[in-house]
Each structure stands twice: as C-alpha cells, then as structure tokens.
Structure 1
Amino acid sequence: MTGLTHLDGEGRARMVDVGDKPVTTRQAEARGELRCLPETLAAVRAGNTPKGSVIATAELAGVMAAKRTADLIPLCHPLALTKVVVEIAIDDALPGFTLRAEVRTSGQTGVEMEALTAVSVGALTLFDMLKAVDRTMTIGAIRVTAKSGGRSGDWTAT
C-alpha cells in the first residue's frame, strides 16, 4: 500500500496531511456536457421551459457546489476558494450544453475536485430543470482540462 497517499499502512482511508506543503496559487478548469434534443435547446432559447432560467440557475448551482465539495467528497480538504466561475453555453452541434468551471485558491492543495464538482452539479441541475421537457438527456465528458500550481506544476489536456 506504499505510494497511495489516501491510505495508511493498514489500508484504511485517510485524509492527506498537507500542512507542510507551501501555500501557492492553485487553479483548475473542468468541462462537461449535457446532450439533449434540438427541441429542448429551442425551448431554452425561447425562455419557454417550465422551471424558468435554466442556464443561470445551473451556473449558480455549480458555484454553490464548488464551495461544498469537501462536504460531498470524503477525503477532500475544505478550501477557501478565491474564484469560482461556471459558464454554460448552448451548443447546437451536440446538440446540448457545454459546461466549463474555473476554480482558484491560495492554499496547500489543488482545486481539481472543486472544478469537477461545479461542472457535475451544473449538469445535474440542467437535467433536473429540463427533465419534464426531455427524457433523453445524457450527461458526460466531465474532465479536468487544466490545472496550475503546486508541486506537480501546470498541466493542460491535449
């Protein structure tokens, strides 16, 4: 079990001690998508959905979720986030929505999980708000697309 940072010597899950790590600016970006029928996109564009402004609500839900990541993921550290941006756009080519989250902190551990959580909850919120209109929706392609800061340095998906 050596080399696995979230397990102790006996294989029990543990939160990693980041106390000796330097405080640096950490940033992560995540992306995802929700696919739906073209008619669903038309209803959103027209503002003709039963639950109102679905994009604005889902963006706000993503921001709120990023701030609560440590409450949802058992071994995540609670972090003081300095920036959370969630952007959702209609993408006719899917058809559906693309989601992007950018999260930043100054701390001793990264914010990849917060960015992933923001995108995931944003997509789930879209699904919830549109399920009465479209039961064919699918959520997918959720991934970290970039991170910076910390010991492992910067990384961008290719």
Structure 2
Amino acid sequence: MTAAPAAAQFWQCAPYARQISGIEIHGNANTWWGQAEGRYDRGHTPRAGAVLAFEATGRMRVGHVAMVSQVVNDREVLLTHANWSRRGGVETDVRAVDVSEAGDWSRVKVWYGPNHDLGTSSYPTKGFIYADHEPAPPVQFAGTVPAEPLAG
C-alpha cells in the first residue's frame, strides 16, 4: 500500500468549506442551514468569509456549500469552493451572480469551468451562514483551478 500524494486530494464541498471558512458544521451540505440555526448568524446579504448554502435539488441531491471570498457588489460575489466544475476539484474566486427576482440571493448562477462562463442553470439557495472571524486562505493543491479574470 502506498500513500497518495497531496495532489491527489479529492474534495467534497462541505469539508472544504468547513476548512476554509472555519464554520464548524459537519454533514451533507443540505443540512448546513438548519444546523447553523442558533450557532451562527444567518442572512441574505453576502459577506466575505460567509458560506452560501445551496438547497438540495434533483441534480444536487445533497445541496452545495461555497465560501464567499469577495463581495463584488450587491448582486455579485466571488466564491471559493470544491466539487463544482470538476469532481473533487477546487476553484478559487469564481463568479456567482444573484438572479433572484427579489435580489435576496435565493437563486444564483455560478461560474462553470467547462463553459468558461456562468453556467446555464440557476440554483436555489437558503442564504449565507456567517463566520465569526476572518476566513482562512484557500487550501491549494495541484489541480486547483485559478480564477480567470472577470470580463469587464
């Protein structure tokens, strides 16, 4: 039996979000919002270091979580997350745009690597779980996808 190199790290979204945000919630992503109640502040305004909790859907049966690495404006953030564009891969500082009618971050479009743009689907979210401290720097491994410049 041989040890796998660090470059072979396969990340699920929840353990990765926990590691970089410091939000100590365990379990599938679709349980984070409920588990955060009474433990962490929650809301619908993005903040750097907060974790955006996605609802479970038919295509994302266990939901998704991603850390806000930067707030660009009231309808756009940069996310750092794992297991989105490529199984087990990490992406840093990728665009997410609020496409909800009410502007409350209840539905988003997220950068999708194979398209080199926002994906064609939009996803329902529950909101943001706020960390009570500054986020840790993203964990970098070989195979981490660097952010591409924003179109401007």
TM-score of Structure 1 vs Structure 2, range by shorter chain: under 0.3
Q: Give the structure with the higher percent helix.
A: 1
Q: Which has the higher contact order (CA 8 A, sep 6+)?
A: 1
TM-score, normalised relative to structure 1: 0.27
